[in-house]
């Protein structure tokens, strides 16, 4: 399974600069609104130091990290949901993403135009929230018109469930609350909710774009954002996009590390952002390791061995027999799969085994 995130924000907040850092796709970034016309899509490798450590032991033909797909759309403005600016036509491009990366401008710079004339990340957040909510309300109301009669006069249970879900969303959105504030108990309701692909139902990560001076510590703008979103259960991440762009231009890992240390950072903001997006969606990684490749596979926290086997191939899940599991620390400690077996540290697990992050897996199956 792959993770797809959509980047949203007002024009000139640093969305495309951040996208360039993440994907090295070089989206156009310039100091005027609506610079990004076509949506940009980039595929990013998920940083995982464990793969390199394993590769030093296994010497595989290749190393394959997990990936994240990032979609960057035109900057949204107030009224975008009704056709203002250029953002409205691109909202469909992020409708099926797994999560939203909401970039907020948290830096002062007289040379970078702000579409609303002043820097206020909380106001900017509220503008984007409102536009996404209005778009979702439009989607919900259109869907209600289609299913209302079927739900009320027919015997279609699915339509009745969907209608109840839609009405709950309509009530929340009409009050200016995002769809993610509504929860459903039954599996049928949860599935009906997912099928709507509402923008404000997606988990959100607020990315505060600061200047280099505040890359490590944040600033007053960041604190305002933290205060504004504390009731949402959302994470706030501080990134200096322009600094990240400078780091991305450096040729060697040693140069990049020196730059980070000079900025008071232990890890790049791009790496932290990707890891935060994974955590936001309760995603984890299991690993397969052999002479052909060392590869990371993405799964949802709490999945059992057969479900994870299905990530590799559906036949693995259908014909699952057992999983051979080596803990990452044991693989590093003993230095080879054979040594792990000899030490009695290789686990044989059945269908009820809950896979743990970093497990090195080998699946036995028969179809």
**Mean per-residue pLDDT for 102-109?**
92
d(CA 222, CA 238): 8
Q: Is the per-residue pLDDT at 37 higher than 50?
A: no
**pLDDT tens readout for residues 152-194:** 777 788 889 999 999 999 999 999 999 999 999 999 999 999 9
pLDDT level of residue 304 (50, 70, 90 thresholds): very high
Statement: residue 354 has pLDDT above 90: yes
Q: Residue 28: is its pLDDT beyond 70?
A: no
Q: Which residues, other chains included, contact 225 with Cβ-Cβ below 8 Å and sequence gap of 6+?
A: 104, 106, 121, 122, 125, 206, 208, 236
pLDDT over 90 (residue 6): no
Which of residues 254 and 335 earns the better pLDDT score? 335
pLDDT digits (tens, 9 = 90+) for 273-285: 888 888 888 899 9
What is the average per-residue pLDDT within 259-272? 82
What is the pLDDT at residue 36? Answer: 40
What pLDDT is recorded for position 292? 94
With 0-12 / 13-18 / 19 or more C-beta atoms within 10 angstroms meaning exposed / middle / buried, residue 83 is exposed
Q: Report the mean per-residue pLDDT for the chain.
A: 86
Mean pLDDT of 120-148: 92
CA distance 325 to 347: 5
* Confidence check: pLDDT of 303 > 80: yes
Sheet of 320-326, strands arranged across: 62-64, 293-300, 283-289, 360-365, 320-326, 347-349
Mean pLDDT of 207-230: 93
Distance CA 181, CA 234 (A): 11
Residue 85 above 60 pLDDT?
A: no
Determine whether 212 is exposed, middle or buried from the number of CB atoms within 10 Å of its CB (0-12, 13-18, 19+).
middle
Is the predicted pLDDT of residue 203 greater than 60, yes or no?
yes
Burial of 133-142, coded b for 16+ CB within 10 Å and e otherwise, reads bbbbbebbee
- pLDDT value, residue 182: 94
């Amino acid at each position: 399974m792959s993770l797809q995130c959509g980047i949203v924000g007002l024009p000139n907040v640093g969305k495309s600069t951040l996208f360039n850092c993440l994907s090295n796709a070089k989206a156009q970034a310039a100091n005027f609104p609506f610079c990004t016309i076509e949506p940009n899509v980039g595929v990013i490798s998920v940083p995982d130091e464990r793969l390199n450590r394993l590769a030093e032991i296994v010497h595989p033909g290749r190393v394959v990290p997990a990936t994240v797909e990032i979609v960057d759309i035109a900057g949204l403005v107030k009224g975008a949901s009704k056709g203002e600016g250029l953002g409205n036509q691109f909202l469909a491009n992020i409708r099926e993403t797994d999560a939203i990366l909401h970039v907020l401008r948290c830096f002062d710079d007289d040379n970078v135009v702000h579409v609303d004339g002043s820097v206020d990340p909380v106001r900017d957040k509220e503008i984007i929230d409102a536009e996404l909510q209005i778009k979702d309300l439009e989607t919900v109301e259109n869907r209600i018109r289609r299913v209302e009669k079927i739900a009320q006069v027919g015997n279609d249970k699915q339509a009745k469930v969907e209608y109840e879900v839609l009405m709950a969303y309509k009530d929340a959105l009409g009050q200016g609350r995002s769809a993610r504030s509504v929860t459903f108990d039954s599996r049928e309701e949860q599935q009906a909710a997912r099928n709507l692909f509402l923008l404000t139902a997606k988990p959100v990560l607020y990315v505060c774009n600061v200047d280099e001076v505040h890359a490590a510590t944040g600033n007053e703008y960041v604190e305002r954002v933290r205060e504004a979103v504390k009731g949402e259960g959302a994470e706030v991440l501080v990134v200096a996009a322009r600094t990240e762009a400078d780091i991305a231009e450096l040729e060697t890992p040693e140069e990049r590390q020196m730059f980070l240390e000079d900025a008071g950072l232990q890890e790049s903001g791009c790496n932290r952002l990707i890891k935060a997006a994974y955590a936001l969606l309760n995603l984890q990684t299991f690993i397969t390791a052999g002479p052909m490749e060392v590869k990371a596979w993405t799964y949802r926290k709490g999945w059992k061995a057969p479900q994870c086997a299905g990530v590799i191939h559906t036949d693995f899940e259908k014909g699952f027999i057992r999983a051979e599991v080596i803990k990452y620390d044991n693989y590093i400690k003993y230095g080879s799969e054979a040594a792990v077996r000899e030490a009695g540290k290789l686990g044989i697990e059945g269908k009820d085994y809950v896979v743990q992050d970093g497990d090195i897996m080998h699946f036995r199956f028969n179809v």
